């Protein structure tokens, strides 16, 4: 009798696992879709993006697809500008016109 109970529990757990994964994907998908929709189209995009994101998150959760993360290269350091401590122009070689005439 114990074996039948354990077998029934294992079957129920294996059938319920995709549903649990799907339930975890829906809120994340809705949040992501609503955020992207708001940035793209404002309030209407927020509503549509939340709905579409929830559906896509549910499907990905049912299939076991997790979020993907992209590793971007680090940004290049800012250029260093050094202050010049010497005059930029030299007036030693300038030629002045004789205005006295």
Q: Do the domain assignments include residue 13?
A: yes
Q: Do the domain assignments include residue 28?
A: yes
Q: Do the domain assignments include residue 18?
A: yes
Q: Do the domain assignments include residue 22?
A: yes
The DSSP line for 16-63 is HHHHHHHHHHHHHHHHHHHHHHHHHHTHHHHHHHHHHHHHHHHHHHHH
Tell me, what's the pLDDT at 68? 74
Q: Do the domain assignments include residue 97?
A: no
Of 26, 27, 25, 47, nearest to 36 (Cα)? 47
Q: Do the domain assignments include residue 68?
A: no
pLDDT per residue as tens, the chain (101 positions): 676 777 777 766 666 555 554 456 788 888 888 888 888 888 898 899 989 988 888 888 778 777 777 788 899 999 888 876 766 666 666 666 766 65
- Report residue 52 as tokens: 């579409």
Q: Do the domain assignments include residue 85?
A: no
Spatial separation of the C-alpha atoms in residues 83 and 42, rounded to whole Å:
46
Spatial separation of the C-alpha atoms in residues 55 and 51, rounded to whole Å:
6
Of 19, 37, 39, nearest to 29 (Cα)? 37
- Output the pTM of the full model: 0.46
Q: Do the domain assignments include residue 98?
A: no
Tell me, what's the pLDDT at 4? 72
The domain tally of the chain equals: 1
């Amino acid at each position: 009798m114990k074996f039948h109970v354990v077998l029934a529990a294992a079957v129920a757990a294996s059938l319920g696992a995709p549903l649990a994964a799907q339930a975890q994907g829906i809120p994340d998908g809705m949040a992501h879709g609503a955020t992207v929709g708001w940035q793209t189209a404002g309030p209407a995009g927020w509503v549509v993006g939340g709905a579409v994101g929830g559906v896509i998150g549910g499907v990905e959760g049912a299939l076991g697809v997790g979020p993907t993360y992209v590793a971007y290269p680090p940004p290049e350091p800012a250029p260093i500008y050094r202050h010049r401590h010497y005059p930029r122009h030299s007036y030693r070689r300038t030629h002045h016109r004789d205005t006295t005439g």
